[in-house]
Chain A
Amino acid sequence: MVIVNGEPVAEAVGLNIQTFLEQRQTPVDHVVVELNGHIIHRPEFENTTLSPNDKLELITFVGGGR
């Protein structure tokens, strides 16, 4: 299991971040990725493989403020 935004996702294990985002249909340009508390820069998505018990946060902009 990889914990993605607080939810366990079994099929994420073994995928690199780029592939995982594409499978999830998450627009790569509009997301910041934090893996186990560390930001993963976009060029590193393909070289970073998800392991069991990883904690992945996918963050984007939403409307906010006053």
Chain B
Amino acid sequence: MQDLLTIGGHTFTSRFILGSGKYSYNLIDSAVNHAKAQIITMALRRTESSAENILNFIPEDVTILPNTSGSTTAEEAVRTAHLARELSGSDFIKLEVVPDKKYLMPDNDETVKATETLAKEGFIVMPYVLPDLNIARRLVDAGAATVMPLAAPIGTNKGLATKDLIQILIDEIDVPIIIDAGIGRPSEAAAAMEMGADAIMANTSMATAKNIPLMAEAFRLGVEAGRKAYLAGPGRIIERGAVASSPLTGLSK
């Protein structure tokens, strides 16, 4: 049976989502063709006549996931979501409410408020949060399609700093848990997927690699390896002693 990721009734075979904050043709091409990304996030900003539009880089079969970055309150995020829907023609919205400029920490309470409003308006809301079980439950009650906890602050490549808190969300929350920030290496993507995360989102880790296409492929393999390991069910751990793996009888002396 095919292993699909379902978000708001839409299905995807890929569990790697690309952020496009640091983008180039090479990065988008690598993410789509080597990392097999089917979802790419984008931000909304005022037009600049000189800039080439990012949409010209995006293959048609890729789902655009607009974000509300730049929003510092629920009200601003709702406005940005409305603009995004008009532009993309789709209901997907990656909800980000980030008043803090130093650590880029999301405001969980404002995020819940915006989720309530947007879900009622028919958006497929994918909120970015600091991993917290109570907030995640409130998000689900408010109609969130996923919960997207940060692994480490945005753009840091620091890996699974919030690992234990993310594990609680994976164990207790029924909507997809998508790891949203901080994943710096394919091994960390694999570890998160092996824990039971439903997908990984990354950008900086690929964009700042020396060989982008090769790193994109490494991320695909990492995500796939972790997913298969999760589905397979990792073997048990023996806390003390050892278990012989060769026969203890029939030894030649």
Contact = CB atoms under 8 A, between A and B. Distances in A.
Interface of A: 5-6, 24-27, 30-32, 34, 39, 41, 57-66
Contacts of B23: 63
Given A25-B49, A26-B49, A59-B46, A64 B87 contact: no
B42 A41 contact: no
A8 B77 CA distance: 26
Contacts of B67: 64-65
A32 B87 contact: yes
B44 A66 contact: no
Contact of B83 (A26, A41, A59, A65): A59
Contacts of A30: 53, 55, 87
B232 interface: no
B43 A62 contact: yes
> Which 7 A-B pairs rank lowest in CB-CB distance, beginning with the nearest?
A64-B43, A65-B19, A66-B19, A65-B41, A63-B23, A66-B203, A63-B20
B53 A57 contact: no
Mostly, the B contact residues are: mixed
Contacts of B86: 32, 39, 41
Contacts of A27: 53
26 contacts: A5-B46, A6-B46, A31-B87, A32-B83, A32-B86, A32-B87, A39-B86, A41-B86, A59-B87, A60-B46, A60-B53, A61-B88, A62-B44, A62-B45, A63-B42, A63-B54, A64-B20, A64-B69, A65-B18, A65-B19, A65-B20, A65-B21, A65-B67, A65-B69, A66-B19, A66-B202
B186 to A, nearest CB: 15
Contact of B204 (A6, A39, A64, A66): A66
B194 interface: no
B47 A31 contact: yes
